[in-house]
Chains A and B, each alone.
Chain A
């Protein structure tokens, strides 16, 4: 199954989405990412019991912070899928790509503030 997904997506591997901290999400934006999606296992299927549930809470916190500083909270999203479900992965990534294209680039890029 050789499915393509948007080339704008850059994958960062983590052992479990429970490893993803709030600061990792924020630093991505600080370094110029236009959007971040955290892709965890299906809820209830976490190998470490609740890593994906923790990740969801952190994503929600990141959304709240981004809204407060004038970014759109929609730029960060949580997805859940089975690692063997390639078509769904492609669908999610295409959706994310479209969402971010509609929102436009990271606001700090237009002010030259990217670090």
Chain B
């Protein structure tokens, strides 16, 4: 899932304080799972903003809606009939959702309520960590299912580097060394011989370095 976290309340207040009618739009997918922008978080933020404005003596309208997804046109269409009732939409979707909302409603001010962080997993409730950087050319079959692109600070294809200590990365002693994890897992899988195979130079043009990416599939269009 895409993992995001809510912006500090002070920053959100600064974003929205000059608008009289605000619609807070949540998203029912990734940001609901990472408890940053689902129905519940929308309700809490809306309540907080309503109280803030009321305390300041400002007459503001703050309403709530949560869409199934903000990265698909059909769900964004669901609010077409009400968007004109608002001066600004505060989207609690990931960066993709915020942008698609703005594309769909070009005359509406669309503001982000979250900081989008990474593609990752729920380690336990309240703990999310990165697993994928969308490099466009998956090498997990060579690395025992552990991604050195997203989990090694240096993105080494043939690691570890000399900075690892007791299985942890030099950037932070709480960050496991991805290559240590790979070697340990290869051992468990009885495939340590795979470690001897050098991974060749990666074509980074499929990654973000190649510019904004787009795929077109004629078979499903």
CA distance A55 to B189 in the complex (A): 43
Which listed residue (A21, A22, A29) contacts B51, Cβ 8 A?
A: A29
Q: Is B55 an interface residue (CB 8 A)?
A: yes
Of the candidates A65, A111, A112, which one forms a contact with B9 in the assembled complex, judged by CB atoms under 8 Å apart?
A65
Provided the pairs A111-B56, A111-B57, A113-B57 are in contact, do residues A69 and B51 lie with their beta carbons within 8 angstroms? yes
Near B by CB (< 8 A), chain A positions 100-115 give 107-108, 111-115
Which residues of chain A come closer than 8 Å to B48, judged between CB atoms?
A: 26, 65, 68-69
A90 within 8 A of B: no
With the chains together, A107 CA to B53 CA distance in Å? Answer: 11
Q: Is A92 an interface residue (CB 8 A)?
A: no
Complex CA gap A21/B43 in Å reads: 11
A69/B44 contact (C-beta < 8 A), A111-B57, A113-B57 known: no
Given contacts A70-B55, A111-B55, contact A30 B50 (CB under 8 A): yes
Interface membership of chain B positions 125-155, coded 1 if the CB is closer than 8 angstroms to chain A and 0 otherwise: 0000000000000000000000000000000
CB closest chain-B residue, reference A61: B44
| CA–CA, A108 and B13, complex, Å | 17
Closest chain-A Cβ to B46's Cβ sits at a distance in Å of 9
**Closest chain A CB from B212 CB (angstroms):** 36
Residue of A nearest to B126 (CB): A57
* B52: Cβ under 8 A from any A Cβ: yes
Q: Is B85 an interface residue (CB 8 A)?
A: no
Nearest-neighbour CB distance to chain B for A73, whole angstroms, equals 13
Nearest B residue to A62 via CB reads: B44
Residue B40 interfacial (CB < 8 Å): yes
Query: A23–B54 Cα gap in the complex (Å)?
Result: 17
Assess whether B50 is in contact with A22, with CB atoms less than 8 Å apart.
no
Distance (Å) between the CB of A90 and the closest chain B CB?
30
Interface centre among A22, A23, A112, by most chain B C-beta atoms within 10 angstroms, is A23
Q: A66 to chain B: closest CB distance in Å?
A: 8
Q: Are A108 and B51 in contact (CB under 8 A)?
A: yes
- Find out whether the CB atom of B53 lies under 8 angstroms from the CB atom of A113: yes
- Chain B residue, CB-CB nearest to A57: B126
Let me know if B44 and A113 touch, CB within 8 A: no
Q: Which residues of chain B (57-97) have a CB below 8 Å from chain A? A: 57
B47–A71 CB distance below 8 A? no
Partner of A26, one of B10, B51, B57: B51
Would you list the 10 A-B pairs with minimal beta carbon distance, nearest first?
A113-B54, A108-B54, A111-B57, A69-B52, A26-B47, A68-B9, A107-B55, A23-B43, A108-B55, A30-B47
User: A: which residues have CB within 8 A of B?
Assistant: 21-23, 26-27, 29-30, 65, 68-71, 107-108, 111-115
Binding site for A on B (CB under 8 A): 9-10, 13, 40, 43-44, 47-57
